[in-house]
Chains A and B, each alone.
Chain A
Amino acid sequence: MERNKDIQVIEGYGVTLRRLTEDKIELVRRWRNDPKIQQYMSFKDYITPEMQKNWFKKIDNNNNFYFIIEYEGKEVGLINIKDVDYEKRTGEPGIFIYEDECLNLDVGVRASLCQNDFAWNTLNLESMHGHVLKNNKRARQLNRFFGYEILPGQEDKELQECTLTRDAALKNKNVNRIANLLKKMENI
């Protein structure tokens, strides 16, 4: 699985995902400390440059894959699969779109389609397990679209756990239809 470490760029569905490098962690820190992003994170403390450097040291490895999302040549957000367990074949997905003009577009869906392909085809995961705040309507809608299911007993919790299996994802007709459509549009 060491080959995964070499993956620096994922392109597809009209977006480019570029592996997070140290020279970009200040940009991510600025995004992450913005209240519009921070409000939807479970960790809400202000992140200092030192904290950010330490965080990057922990995630710059073969078990964590963080990518800057580029849309039409502009850096617009961050997407990740973290805590990849190659034995259990699981990982935890995450995404945020920073640029306001992209929130009404489908950049999040495009990036998530790349993330799914990466999870199932490259990392060969069997499932992804995520967390989402109950008040994060946009993320919950996106999760529903992709077929994530809230775990039983989590419905009333502030931080809810959700899961998506490889089998369910690959059989999701709505997602496959949109994926094919976006691929088709890429070639026009």
Chain B
Amino acid sequence: MASAMDQVMDAIDIETYLVCDSAQHGRALAQALGRELMLGEVDVMYEEFDGYGVRVRLRKYVYRPGNDYGWLGAGDEAAAR
């Protein structure tokens, strides 16, 4: 079975709320969350600190345009058909 990560068409977005002391703290936590989830460096698409924490939207690209997309399959089956 193909790995789930290979089947991500392009990007993974994570939306959550991180309790923190400042927007800067929130950004640092967001980056740390990406690493803790084994996603490596993630991009903080959106953040808004409200005094208690940050509402964040994070993005990690699994495939960018022109990459060798895992979900596209091997293609040999199509040729055989």
**Is B a genuine binding partner of A?**
no
Residues of B within 8 A of A (CB): none
Residues of A within 8 A of B (CB): none
